[in-house]
Structure 1
């Protein structure tokens, strides 16, 4: 009944645009109709492909003085049909990435104009704390903080509301506090293990806070704040993240015994395995050598792209990759276990304080840790982002 409706609407759209020239035509989420042709079932004659063919025909028929400019947006440019991207159609591409620290600061100023902020709230500090946030995330952050302030009966948004909003956006809703003593102690050692191993490994981001308050699926959380925008990451930093990620499991094994390790490290193991695999196959940071070992299409998150891509990897190379990934993780795990063994007294003290307060700030954590051992200088004396910008 509706066959050809999409193509008909495209014709009507461009006829209307030509009648109103000069005119701008904006197509949002163009990947909905502009996906690569020939990937569907039915011999390429489905409704979506007819709509795309009509769009290609209309754009190809423009004369130089038609006065119609077509602009489109998508967050999946890799799956667009090649005919759409050729010269004469969408021949100019503008990539809009996630904002850097300066961009986040300016975006936060826009979204905080209509909100009353406490005088202690520093927009630049919030920008430092939110790497990887998009403009929509930052708008959501300020709205969540305003809602929390209203619920708590405050007439201004304070740092407490902003901190809680960041935690909620990143990790999920706050859960019910733990009452079971055994589980709480185990989670406390797990989180302190993360914090200690990360802080004592050169190259890791500083600890921002350690908490036993559950959020989402996590029973406890250790937060880190990057010293600078993570656009370029060194091998030392990636390896330090693996050591820090394994700190929780290492603490469980060393302190409670191998038979008492829990399922709490499942998310950590997924993250560190992904980092180690990327170090080997994408960044060339292993003994195999500095070359890309897997085609980008094979690693793509798009199912169709992965189906179309041919994986030409040999069995020997796949085995070498697995061995390299395991070697990176095994060496990191040994370092993590050594950190736990060598700092047992300090860890016990930190867990005691954490059990009492339920949340430790980064400064409180480092103050206690520095009483027992030296902290690597590059994990403490990093230049703040504000100094780097002014320099």
Structure 2
């Protein structure tokens, strides 16, 4: 980039110098002021009358120039007069002299006349080249493909670098085998799928999988984003598709990877503006190019999206993207393998339990786990440690979920007490509800926007939830609100449980309208519209009757109210444990699940973990947090259960 800027400066410097030279050359004959053109007869009259003050004879060009008595300049051409120049002023008192200048050649005159045209043409060519940008990515290279080619010189990625998606890797191993030995399939009349569509949430490793296929097969890898095809000019995207496939055929066998293909592969015929015509033409060209592939060309297309529902059906038919490979969030074994991959080469302490961390990170994608390991390494560096301990992984996960600690946040004693009893209420209700998750940690240290939280860890990945577990989760979420009512009084209840209430309402609504867990409604699905009304089924058909809507609302209210009453009942029954836990939180600020259990069983004082990160701090999941929310200029507490 620096060399290109230097070259541009030099070019423009030369152009400016030439312009200045041309201006100087054109203005040179005008130096000395303007002169009156006199005929030789007129000059003789001036000489006879004595009105010529001085004169100079240019013998090279046969021109006499001089000054009249009034100061005017004159010029007389004597080239056509056969006369000795000395005889003109002989016998007069007029001072005169001679000079000799070089006559301008005809070639120089021609060059001076065409120089402006050449200069303008050169500037036009320069601008044109700059707009093209070296042949790629410029304003005049619309039809050029923007696909990047990753060859063997690029950092190689193999299946060993991809973990947690074993089923997807098994499906893609066929692609690798075909690229390495296509005759193994073609001799049996088999045809490898021309397109493989990777479907999954963001961060699950779709792009990494595609690169691993290219690395395993040892073939060139073209990568491009779906949005790179679409421009405001109709036909540009189709041209780029043709260009990309033409380059791919030269590198065959190879892989073409199209990321976020939904940007160009959406349903055709959708949209009212003219912009959709360009996208549809691009999609049409992509369909044609894919459909024309033969199995022996050795070109395989892999695409990725997290929106397969919006793709055109013609794109998914057999012969194009005829294989869809799910790339889901990793399970607990997958998360453990992903953590092993990202911990490789890092100084990990002996007390780090990878299985424990994997258990406490349900719902984390591969990108989330990579970020978790990186945050733990950064925390270890800030604490001047030589190795990454379990405590750093614990704190890193809390930071990823809830944000950094805010120990400098100014809180009154009343606010700290409110937070402590609030979080203790969550914990006690959770400990005494059948079907609730085990407690991992309770803290009243502000973190991010949270003033405190209670965290739970599932024993295993939860694929589904039972009615018992849902009721327990709702009661646990209402424990904070119930604790504020019992300890501080009805009029002292804060807005801290607002998001708890939202969560409970959301669960109750799903139980009634989606999961068929209401005896009064029965196993019938209803979908809530944007205006708050319900319609039967998946949202089609006429709205439900007012009686049915009223019944749905009453059932939702019943589930929420029963959860609140259950929380009040448990806290009244376990008041001694609740108060003891709240006071311990006020004293120690953070308690692990084992410490809470020991405290409630025999009132054992918690032992604080040392700063070296010894022991096994809990890695939390399913946090219940208490967050501040500005209301009318004031900062109040808000409680969120996730």
Question: What is the distance in 2 between the residues matched to 1:311 and 1:118?
Answer: 60
Structure showing greater radius of gyration is: 2
Q: Does structure 2 retain, via aligned residues, the 8 Å contact 1:294–1:313?
A: no
1:122 aligns with 2:353: yes
Question: What is the distance in 1 between the residues matched to 2:517 and 2:356?
Answer: 33
1:80-137 Cα deviation digits (max 9, x unpaired): 2222222222111111111111111111111111111111111111111111111111
The aligned runs of 1:282-293 (5 Å cut-off) are 282-287=514-519, 288-293=521-526
Question: What is the distance in 1 between the residues matched to 2:268 and 2:553?
Answer: 35
Question: What is the distance in 2 between the residues matched to 1:319 and 1:58?
Answer: 56
1:134 aligns with 2:365: yes
Q: Does structure 2 retain, via aligned residues, the 8 Å contact 1:38–1:44?
A: no
Q: Does structure 2 retain, via aligned residues, the 8 Å contact 1:242–1:332?
A: yes
Equivalent position SS for 1:42: coil
The aligned runs of 1:354-369 (5 Å cut-off) are 354-369=585-600
Equivalent position SS for 2:526: coil
Q: Does structure 2 retain, via aligned residues, the 8 Å contact 1:281–1:293?
A: yes
Q: Does structure 2 retain, via aligned residues, the 8 Å contact 1:37–1:44?
A: no
Equivalent position SS for 1:90: coil
Match of 2:428 in 1: 196
Residue 68 of structure 1 and its aligned partner are, at CA, apart by 2.3
Match of 1:347 in 2: 578
Match of 1:229 in 2: 461
Question: What is the distance in 2 between the residues matched to 1:311 and 1:368?
Answer: 57
Q: Structure 1 length as normaliser, TM-score?
A: 0.86
1:177-223 Cα deviation digits (max 9, x unpaired): 45310111001111111111111110010110100111222111111
Instruction: Count matched residues.
Output: 362
Q: Does structure 1 retain, via aligned residues, the 8 Å contact 2:444–2:589?
A: yes
Question: What is the distance in 2 between the residues matched to 1:371 and 1:21?
Answer: 72
Match of 2:511 in 1: 279
| Long gaps (5+) in structure 2 | 1-231, 531-537, 604-642
The aligned runs of 1:209-358 (5 Å cut-off) are 209-287=441-519, 288-294=521-527, 310=540, 312-316=542-546, 317-358=548-589
Q: Identify the structure with the greater helix proportion.
A: 1
Residue 279 of structure 1 and its aligned partner are, at CA, apart by 1.9
Question: What is the distance in 2 between the residues matched to 1:223 and 1:159?
Answer: 17
Larger RCO: Structure 1 or Structure 2 (Cα < 8 Å, ≥ 6 residues apart)? 1
Identify the range of structure 1 (43-52 vs 12-21) with the bigger mean alpha-carbon deviation. 43-52
Q: Identify the structure with the greater strand proportion.
A: 2
Tell me which of 311, 319, 334 is aligned to 1:103: 334
Match of 1:164 in 2: 395
Tell me which of 232, 244, 256 is aligned to 1:13: 244
Residue 43 of structure 1 and its aligned partner are, at CA, apart by 6.2
Equivalent position SS for 1:239: helix
Residue 30 of structure 1 and its aligned partner are, at CA, apart by 1.0
| Long gaps (5+) in structure 1 | 300-307, 373-391
Match of 2:382 in 1: 151
Superposition RMSD on alpha carbons, in Å?
2.2
Query: Structure 1 9/63 Cα, relative in aligned 2: closer, same or farther at 3 Å?
Result: same
Q: Structure 2 length as normaliser, TM-score?
A: 0.54
Query: Structure 1 271/162 Cα, relative in aligned 2: closer, same or farther at 3 Å?
Result: same
Identify the range of structure 1 (13-22 vs 151-160) with the bigger mean alpha-carbon deviation. 13-22
Question: What is the distance in 1 between the residues matched to 2:477 and 2:426?
Answer: 6
1:365-384 Cα deviation digits (max 9, x unpaired): 12233359xxxxxxxxxxxx
Residue 44 of structure 1 and its aligned partner are, at CA, apart by 7.1
Residue 154 of structure 1 and its aligned partner are, at CA, apart by 0.4
Query: Structure 1 311/138 Cα, relative in aligned 2: closer, same or farther at 3 Å?
Result: farther
